[in-house]
Structures are given as structure tokens and as C-alpha cells.
Amino acid sequence: MTETSFRAPRREAVRLKRARKLSTSSQRWLNRQLNDPYVAAAKAAGYRSRAAYKMMELDDKYKLVGKGALVVDLGAAPGGWSQIALERGAAKVVGIDLLPIIPVAGAEFIEGDFMEEGMDVRLTAMLGRKADLVLSDMAPNTTGHVATDHIRIMALAEMALAFACEILTPGGSFVAKLFQGGAERDMLNTLKLQFRNVRHAKPPASRKDSKEMYVVATGFRGGQ
């Protein structure tokens, strides 16, 4: 299994030109994208997004993707996490998102809602058996109101967890994005009942000024 050793190349800061018609927030976002070494590295390596490096770093630390693993990628668009799962040895990846996804060799994508009735059965059938790993890098559209955004992402993560518990094989793993804010305590208690090991992680590729973090749960008890 290849581990990630990311070193940002030295480069001069790029200045945004002809941005007068953009809002201040849009200008900040564009400037950040233009000067983000992970964005440049992902583009050069052919990854769908900089988020691919988050998945690499999580896998480096927690050894999530076993050789021949069957993986479900919730909120898979644009496909960066699916790319890394396959690169790291997954036998098959099934992804689902409300948005269409350009095909990735070795993966199957569904345009739809993972909460749709019967979707757990459909995805399990596509894999051929229950999953070894369920990934969720999903996040709701943010409002800018910290408390509201935290509640929204926690609700999404809790739905992803409930879904994962339906399709994971015993011993399987679950990864989900959260926002720091305190309301995650109930979810963590549930995770500790369902999994043998539960940890928080903030991979280096996650921007320092972002409140995002990940919960990594391994050793699914599977109703034991």
C-alpha cells in the first residue's frame, strides 16, 4: 500500500485579475483555489478534487482500504475518494450522489439519494455482498450560521451512519465528515456501541481554517 508524502512545491502567489465583478467571498474563494498546493497537485495527478488527498491521508493513518475491499462512497461527486479507494486496492467501489459523476474505471455510480427506500439493498446487490468500508465526505450547503450548519451536517452524518449499519459487513469501517461544534456527542456514543474503535481525525489536506473534521470508526460489531 502506497503512503502519501505530500510536499507543497514552492511557487509564487497567484494574484487574481479582473475580479471587480465578483463578490468579496467569491474573490476570496478563487484566490484560495489559485494558491492551494493541494488543488495544483490534484490537477497534476489527475484526481477529481483536492479532497483525494484527505482520503489518502486518512488511509495512510488508519489503513481503511484493504486489498480486495468492497467500498460504498456516499456523496461521491466528483469522484476523488472513489479514485483513491481503487488506487489503494479496493476491488470495487459503488458511489451515489445527487449530482451526475463522470465514470471512473472500476467504480459504478448512481445518480440518486442514498436515503431512498431500498437503496441499501440495491447497493449491496451491486457489490455482490455487504461492504467493507462506507465513506461519506458529504456536507450540506452552508448558510454561514455556524450553529445551523453544524446541526445540518450532524443530521447528514447520522443518516450516513444509519445507512452504513445496514450495509457493512462485521469488522467493516465507516468514515464521515463532521463540523466541530459540540453536538456530535450523541453520534459518538452511538458509534462506540456499533464499532470497536472510534477516533477523530483532521487530515493535513483539510484546511486549517476549516471546522471540518472526520470520524473514523473501525471494527463494526454487526449486531454482536
Cell numbers 441499501: residue: 120
In whole angstroms, what is the distance from residue 186 CA to residue 189 CA? 5
Look up residue 123 and give its amino acid.
L
In whole angstroms, what is the distance from residue 122 CA to residue 116 CA? 10
Instruction: Identify whether 54 is a catalytic site residue.
Output: no
User: Quick one: how many helices (H) and strands (E) in the chain?
Assistant: 7, 7
Distances (CA, A) of 39 to 80, 105, 203, 223: 12, 22, 15, 41
Q: Which of 130, 177, 202, 208 is catalytic?
A: 177
Write the CB contacts of 157 (distance below 8 Å, at least 6 apart in sequence). 136, 138, 176, 177, 178, 184, 187, 215
Longest dimension (CA), the chain: 60
Active site residues: 177
